[in-house]
Structure 1
Amino acid sequence: MFVGHYKDVPEKDTGFDGVTIRWLVSPKLGAENYAMRYFVLRKGAEIPLHHHDWEHEIFIVKGEGIITGGGKEAHVKAGDFLYVPPNEPHGYRALSETFEFLCIIPAKKEAIPDDEWA
């Protein structure tokens, strides 16, 4: 078992202005099936529409935002959760000072940066 605190995990740049990621659980810790990431988007920040061959499970921790997926937009807030199927174009935009969410994905080599592997 591993127990950690998200603030002890380095916050990394994503390449999108105002968007950071913390890899909370990854193969680096021995996770073989899933990875858990913590995203923070500052007000107005966006992750544009994109898609992957894997699903996403998302839980909104703090703030409000817009998530686009399946050809529609959803206004989401803390406590909401989402499922994004594989290959569905999706994107995120922060409406509040910070929009923070957990995103769980399969632990696939193509989905996870090399430095998150053991």
Structure 2
Amino acid sequence: MLVGNYREVPEEDTGFEGVTIRWLVYPKLGAKNFAMRYFVMKKGSEIPIHQHDWEHEIFIVRGEGIITNGKEEHHVKAGDFLYVPPNEPHGYKATGETLEFLCIIPAKKEAIPEEKW
């Protein structure tokens, strides 16, 4: 069993201004099926619309934002959850002071950085 606190996991740059990620659970720690990540997006920051061949399960921990698939927008807030199917376009924008969310993805080589394996 692994027990930790997200505050003790270093924040890493995502390549998007105002957006950080903390890799909480991943294969190198023993997770064979899923990876869990914690994102923090500062107000006004965005992750542009993109898509992958894997699903995402997301839980909004803090703040408010907009999740879009390019056709419709969903305003989300703390306590909301969502499922993004494989290959569905998706993008994020923080509208509150911050938007913080957990994102769970399958443990696939193409989805997780090499150093996490």
Which bracket does the TM-score occupy, shorter chain normalised? over 0.9
CA separation in 2, counterparts of 1:70 and 1:34?
27
Partner of 1:17: 17
CA separation in 2, counterparts of 1:67 and 1:110?
23
Q: How do 1:1-118 residues align onto structure 2 when only pairs under 5 Å count?
A: 1-69=1-69, 71-117=71-117
Normalised to the residue count of structure 1, the TM-score between the two structures is 0.97
Structure 1 alignment gaps of length 5 or more: none
- Paired residues in the alignment total 117
Q: Is the 8 A contact 1:70 1:88 kept in 2?
A: no
**Same amino acid, percent of matched pairs:** 78
Q: Indicate the RMSD between aligned Cα atoms, in angstroms.
A: 0.8
Please identify runs of 4+ aligned residues in structure 1 that moved more than 6 A. Answer: none
Q: Is the 8 A contact 2:70 2:89 kept in 1?
A: yes
Structure 2 alignment gaps of length 5 or more: none
